[in-house]
Structure 1
Amino acid sequence: MKKSYVILVTFLMAGYWIALTAQTLPRAGELIITEIMANPEAVSDSNGEWVEIFNSSDHAVLINGLIIKDEGSNKHTITSSADLIIQPGGYWVLVKNKDTTANGGVQGNYQYSNFTLANTADQVILCLSDETIIDAVAYETGWPLNAGASMELHPDFVQATANDLPGNWFPARIAYGAGDKGSPGQPNPAVMGGSQVITTATVDIFPNPNSGHFILDVKFPRATSGEIRFANTIGQNFSYVSFKNMLQLHEVIEAGFISPGIWFVQVVAAGQILTTRLVIEK
């Protein structure tokens, strides 16, 4: 009996420990701002604004006591008598009005107050009670601010630094509820316009032809992730370098590993391939 009692106590203590560790506050970069509806059209701003956050960590986080604010006077402390926990890989939607009949059909997880999103330029700052920033997004002219559509962070750039760049956001294209566009509480679709990333990218090889020593310059219209490959006319190909969140690549290449002949430099990004002819003469 004594041994069983000890095992039971140990089991109960282990369960209590799991419960405690499941309710930890997020560290910087663990919660990511992934979608912002600043200018709804189907309903008023006072009812239809919302912000989506994503738990990028491998553990549940407690958001009681966190603050959502801007750089001005807007500030709201997340308050609830119940524990508000976002599971790993989970999305939460913070809404201005939780009533789906008034907010355009958004299923919100939490209703805030004293926080308003300007239509042209503003900030969304998520921080701890001591003002330690977990994530922040500052948008302005040049960001994809379309009336009736949220700004969605491309799924390739769900990081606390990558969401600082306007090129990693795109206007939502899928309608919800009363007709505004967005994907509140769901992963954002990869519809940033990958073909545009590639078709407007530039690739320069200098000199070309060359003897195996050349400079490769690639410029993208927005921060892009992908890889550079080399391929020849008989189907041989290999990856040369991978890149992440880059606007420009500048590579000085000593191509002793490439045999003479006609090759193709392939820039692979956003599900598209841009090919440029390369001639190696020796």
Structure 2
Amino acid sequence: MGIYRRICSRVIQQALYAAVLVMMLAASSLAAGADVVISEIMYNPSSVVDTAGEWIELHNNGVSPVDLADWQVNGNDFEDITIQPDEYIVVARKLTGLVGEESFEAWYGNGDGIWDASDANFRAVDGYFSLTNTGGTINLSDGYYADIVSYLPSMGADGNDHSLERLGADTWNESSALYGTPGKPNGASQGQQQGEGNTITILADVGSAHPVIGVITIGPDEGSLSGVQVIPNPGAQKNITVTVLVSDPNGAGDIATVTASVLKQEGIETVTLSGQGSVNQTSASFTGVMQMDYYNVPGGYLVRVNATDSSGLKATGIAEFDYMEVIAMQLDATQLAFEDATPGELHEVTGDYDPESSYAPTLRNIGNAVLNAEVSGTALSNGGQSIGVENIKYRFFQGDYQSVSTTPAISAINLEAGEMSTARLDLALYIPPGTTSGNYAGSVTIAAVS
């Protein structure tokens, strides 16, 4: 997805006697660490298995060496190394292996099972991480500074032996070179290392400028906290409106397409945003509607906005929203009748798993969280006569019958969220001996709880 964030925070606790020199050195060290970034990703190779072919490249774009001894990738250590100014190093998931065994060295080196200068003119170390082919996030951190990058298959390099190269703070492209450019500036060719000749690809944008994505607004914002909170519609889809301001130095008319994508558990949904007219000579507003299902997992979601101009130049922006948790249920039966009930006997109405059959009670989870049921009821009465509430029985999933009480009781049915997640509800009524004949009416209340 190409998200680029830098989080650089450090608490320097100093005693009253601490020297100014110590503070200056600490600040200098932190600044040097901030110059180390993730510059290239090979997340889904096709010529070798993922365990042997996945790697990331780090670049020190500062002027001072940085010791990476305490650094981690996604919380996992990698071999100690000091990266020099403007140096590119590779952290490989499997750097070396036995001769004839797949590894980074066998793919990019001479296959002797040892990574050294005879393989290539850049350094590489072993890492302990795994990159998912369907997209993910990479966190490079030393505990004080972090470079966090997210990627998606839609960005390129998906199973074609190309890599994702960082061309700017928030700009990623698929490498033009087959097998990527490990250990080299992005856009460089692998040359003789891949047996393809020493080729330098020259890229130039002539006569056109990249579009620029401005403010991205996501609605409706239905929460009181910072950020955007969206509340699902129980049992129905939720429309989410995305509005974005896009600018282009060549003029607003040069903006060709604007799309928005959101990654959900069932896949990526992409919509094309419609132009709402020019704001000024170089800017225009675009809007569109995305849909979330009521059963989508609650939590944070990223919306990736892509803008393309008439020359094919692109820009990417990211916005976030929280899809809130909703606990809700639907019961298809509103009234049940026990006909010709005989005193001294238990009379049953059995349920099923079809939420459309009102004659057979069914409970349906129409939220996005695990559902339990809270059950209570009232006695059945007929003028001055009554049948105690404890004579009403219920059970879920054909378990043991439980007596209803006027005090709400939680039944742990643990009904998962889903497009058609249902539970069978059986109800029964015991008519005590000596009950006077007549028409009795009472109630059972079932509420959704977590």
| Normalised TM-score (structure 1) | 0.51
Q: Deviations over 1:192-222 (max 9, x none)?
A: 88479759966248xxxxxxxx942157936
Q: 2:155 aligns with which of 135, 139, 143?
A: 143
> 1:203 corresponds to which residue?
251
> Which deviates more, 42-51 or 131-140?
131-140
> 1:253 corresponds to which residue?
none
Which AA in structure 2 matches 1:132? Y
| Contact 2:133–2:153 (CA under 8 A) maintained in structure 1 | no
Q: How far 1:116 moved relative to its partner?
A: 0.1
> 1:121 corresponds to which residue?
135
Q: Deviations over 1:54-102 (max 9, x none)?
A: 0011111100110110xxxxx311344xxx2111111110001222862
Which AA in structure 2 matches 1:174? A
1:54-203 aligned at under 5 Å gives the runs 54-69=59-74, 75-80=75-80, 84-99=81-96, 102=102, 103=104, 104-105=107-108, 109-113=124-128, 115-128=129-142, 131-147=143-159, 148-154=161-167, 157=168, 162-163=169-170, 168-175=171-178, 181-189=179-187, 194=205, 203=251
Q: How far 1:33 moved relative to its partner?
A: 0.7
Closer, same or farther in 2 for the Cα pair 1:52/1:246, shift >3 Å?
closer
> 2:232 corresponds to which residue?
none
Closer, same or farther in 2 for the Cα pair 1:38/1:59, shift >3 Å?
same
Closer, same or farther in 2 for the Cα pair 1:96/1:89, shift >3 Å?
same
The runs of 5 or more residues in structure 1 that have no matched partner are: 1-19, 70-74, 176-180, 206-213, 224-244, 248-282
| Contact 2:78–2:91 (CA under 8 A) maintained in structure 1 | no
> 1:31 corresponds to which residue?
36
Q: How far 1:112 moved relative to its partner?
A: 1.1
Larger helix proportion of the pair: 1
Q: Deviations over 1:125-170 (max 9, x none)?
A: 1111xx333311011353224212110112xx1xxxx23xxxx111
> 2:262 corresponds to which residue?
none
The runs of 5 or more residues in structure 2 that have no matched partner are: 1-24, 110-119, 188-200, 212-247, 254-278, 285-305, 310-314, 318-450
RMSD (Å) for aligned C-alpha atoms? 3.8
Closer, same or farther in 2 for the Cα pair 1:192/1:117, shift >3 Å?
farther
| Contact 2:33–2:66 (CA under 8 A) maintained in structure 1 | no
| Normalised TM-score (structure 2) | 0.33
Specify which structure has the bigger relative contact order, considering alpha-carbon pairs within 8 angstroms and separated by 6 or more residues.
Answer: 1
**Identity of counterpart residues, as a percentage?**
22
Closer, same or farther in 2 for the Cα pair 1:47/1:25, shift >3 Å?
farther
Closer, same or farther in 2 for the Cα pair 1:246/1:142, shift >3 Å?
closer
| Contact 1:91–1:185 (CA under 8 A) maintained in structure 2 | yes
Q: How far 1:122 moved relative to its partner?
A: 0.8
> 1:217 corresponds to which residue?
282
| Contact 1:174–1:183 (CA under 8 A) maintained in structure 2 | yes
